[in-house]
Copies of this chain bind each other. A is one copy, B any other.
Amino acid sequence: MRISELAQASGVAVATIKYYLREGLLPAGRATSATQAAYDDSHLQRLRLVRSLVEVGGLPLAKVRAVLDVLEDPGPDPYAAVASALAALPPYVSNEPPHRRATEALDAIGLAHEPDSPAVAQLEAALVGLEAAGRPLDAGALGRYAEQIAVIAQREVASVERDRDSAAPDQLADVVQDVVLGTILVEPVLLALRRLTHAALFRERHPQADGG
């Protein structure tokens, strides 16, 4: 298909597609003349992936490129590949280790972790913010959150492992992609569900409130 058709099929403007081509986020099409190129379904898929990472994931383009690089060439160690892809995802927390509150809290609830992982920095920033706002989260409350999240995470990891067991070794990239997309695209689902459940519970308890 032509670039105009690719734009129509994806809902992404031609100018944006050209920008992605220049930035190397989208591979070049097959040249059909000096000024035209043909694109196929692989371009459409890639374009949708880039848009999901930008719009749903909130990634800046430099980070989109980092994620795509890992997806394209995950290397021999799936754990290292997943870790570098996850490190490219927001939030971009700038605090430096040691993350005392986070590591103490994780030790208290018995969740094994690497002290310098981005998620520990993210947890530290949130715990510091809660403390600063006068609402510190104690290990008991964190542990109760961790219990529910563990049910979710165990189901997700089991499902990825099932997919992998049935995958050929050269499909490692697919598994890494599964983990990365599952992380970044499911996060807003969880947060939206929490907000919607809060609203539903609140309305249930205060039926006179009509939402303003």
Binding site for B on A (CB under 8 A): 45, 48-49, 51-52, 55-58, 77-80, 82-84, 86, 91, 102, 106, 111-114, 117-120, 122-123, 125-130, 132-135, 137, 142, 144-146, 148-157, 161, 178-179, 181-183, 185-206, 209-212
Contacts and interface: CB of A to CB of B under 8 A. Distances in A.
Contacts of A80: 209, 211-212
Given A77-B209, A211-B114, A192 B82 contact: no
Nearest to A45: B134
Contacts of A120: 192, 196
A192 B190 CA distance: 12
A189 B123 contact: yes
Contact of A49 (B45, B56, B132, B187): B132
Nearest to A209: B79
Given A48-B133, A83-B212, A113-B200, 9 more contacts: A56-B129, A79-B212, A119-B196, A120-B196, A125-B188, A126-B188, A145-B186, A179-B198, A190-B191
A129 B55 contact: yes
Contact of A114 (B113, B192, B198, B199): B199
A109 to B, nearest CB: 9
Contacts of A142: 189, 193
B197 A153 contact: yes
B123 A196 contact: yes
